[in-house]
Structure 1
Amino acid sequence: MTTTVLTGAWSTAASMSTPRSGHTGTLLPGGRVLVAGGDTGGQETPTAELYDPLTDTWLPTGGLSAARAHHTAIALPGGGVLVLGGYAQNGFVRDIERYDPATGTWSSAGMSSAPREDPTAVLLDTGSVLMCGGYDRLGNTDLATCELLDPVSGTWTAAAPMVSPRYNHPATLLADGRVLVAGGVNVLNQGGIALTEIYDPATDTWSAACPMTQVRQTDDNGQPAQLRLPSGDVLTVGGYNRIDGVLRTGERRDTGTGAWSAIAPMTTAREGLHTATLVATGAVLVVGGVDDDGPVPSAEVYDPTTDTWSAVPTPGTARARHVAVRLLDGRVLVTGGVDGAGGAVATAELFVP
């Protein structure tokens, strides 16, 4: 796929009804965006709301039964949304909840076998959901355990554990249906790791893969931004490690050889609370994040065909722990997060390519 240089502008969108950071945003089949949970500024919330891009309005919808932040959301076949893991004032949230967009209500999808903060969940080609890793704050340990949800029956079964326990780790569905887990935090290593591994759902096995060129973790709740490019290669950018600090660097995993190689560095260092969104041109829009001075007041675009970064107009708000969702019309909706003052915000804006 050939990319074109991405230019565009930011426009102010309607604000959410509730300030949120560490929330989730999920595109629904009809084009609306479901935002759920998050931290409102020291207190997790169970509320959810819907953004309608046709009218630039936020609409009320049913709330979660359990308040949570730093959780994961998965869009299911048929339009439902699954919310897993997370943390709240009273501890970890084990309850799994499923949103029905037809009724605007949530229902129970069982409980995970272990409490997990910052786990990873991926929708497999089989239709099952793989949830793996996470952090057990009560036990002060990271987890290697994994489990599979059958959304049709609503039953969870144990899956093979990862080779290395980890949390705050990105996971990406590869073009061949396997799942790549890269980096994150390992308590036994007292910090971030560069180790990667691959899950094969056909055999329910994990196998070690080529490590990244650099340790990438986050120094806060979040994870280095990672996504699969149209070519099948996997791109990861930014993050943090104890030797290099906040990273400008990124790297790319070749889908053929499985090897990682460094890409051109970003213009701005961004720790793992930024977002990376694939836009219709094939370019990657990176927004916000944290550097040594706090939330980053900029955005930039990576062109995978030329291995170059270019600046785009500055967003209206410097933010981290926000959510970015590409809409059906190609615009990118950015919501919430924390601003330069450190508080959760309700503001939203749109990047218009």
Structure 2
Amino acid sequence: MKTGFPVAVGLLTALISGCASSPERQISDLGESKPVSIAIRESSPVKVKTEETSRLSASTESQTKQVSHEQAEELPFAEYEIPLPPVSGAPEAHQQTAYSLSDLESLAQANNPTLIQSAAQVEASRGAAYQAGLYPNPVVGYASDQIGIDGTAGELQGGFVSQEFVTGGKLKLSRAKWTQQVCIAETNLSAQYTRVLNDVRIHFYRTLAAQQMVSVHNQLLANSEDNLQTHKEMLNLGQTNQAGLLQAEVDLHRARLKQMAAQNNLEQEWRDLVAMVGVPDLQCTTLKGSLEPTTEEYDWSSAMHQLLENSPEIVAAWEKVQHDEITVERERVQPIPNVLLNVDFGHNFETNNNVAGVTAGLPLPIFDRNQGTVDQALADLNQSR
């Protein structure tokens, strides 16, 4: 009995340890949150199985069997970097292995929606300028008088033509006003073009810096993993203590968190960049460029001089003043009455003669002389100045 009792205890211990490391036990541990958290802290085989199953691509059975209890802590956390969101349906023209600043600028010029809107505004202003100078259409119609008198077709059967003659140079001024509006729209397009290119350049270099930061943190993470492995070997040789090993583990976890933060920052910067380019399905890839400055630095006086000479916003402001000046002129000639000429012709069945008549008229600017609109135009001009 005394001999059989230790044997039974040994068999029971071996059975329990074998069940704890079996695949069935590992799978059951994956479904429970508490054992998983404990396994991560204690570096047990459950950690190995949890990390392997968390990947989108499953590992083969042979690769899983090669991982031992001692290798569990050596699995690099860098394998779980958060990738940028996958892109589906991207145009083939946008599938490149790397993008330079000029590539992204070309894409922005062709796809940025604000540039398309500004270009459409230019075309709309051109259409309005063309329409503003067109002459009124004539009016043609049928005219009759006293139909059926004495059993006849009427005293008069015929037609008429009516035409409004615009006076005071209203059409010329209207077209000039809208032509100036075309100039303003073109200048706004140039300003938006410069604004988009500037934003693309800013986001390009921010994304490039974030990309290099990810590379730096990847290297730091690899160094932390090597440092942890070195401390493990030193602990086995008695050249360090448990506190040094724990500090190496803390440094490794800190490096992992910083690497994840850098990866998240790169993801956000890339999203901002593709939004500015105007191609939301642009795949994330490497950016080609350097963070070193390639141009000379501007001093305050030269930068201010260049801004005052070439700023499209200042040019648009002066064009707005000219537009408002033309508008004031146009509103001042508005009270000049247009002449309405009417010519009618036909056959007089009572006298059996062909007859014609002419009438002309114009409105008298007695009450409405466009005073309010002129005052409004003057106020707009003063505001522009």
The verdict on a shared fold, with TM-score over 0.5 as the criterion, is: no
TM-score by length of 2: 0.16
TM-score by length of 1: 0.17
Where relative contact order (Cα < 8 A, 6+ residues apart) is larger, the structure is 2
Q: Larger Rg: 1 or 2?
A: 2
Q: Give the helix-richer structure, 1 or 2.
A: 2
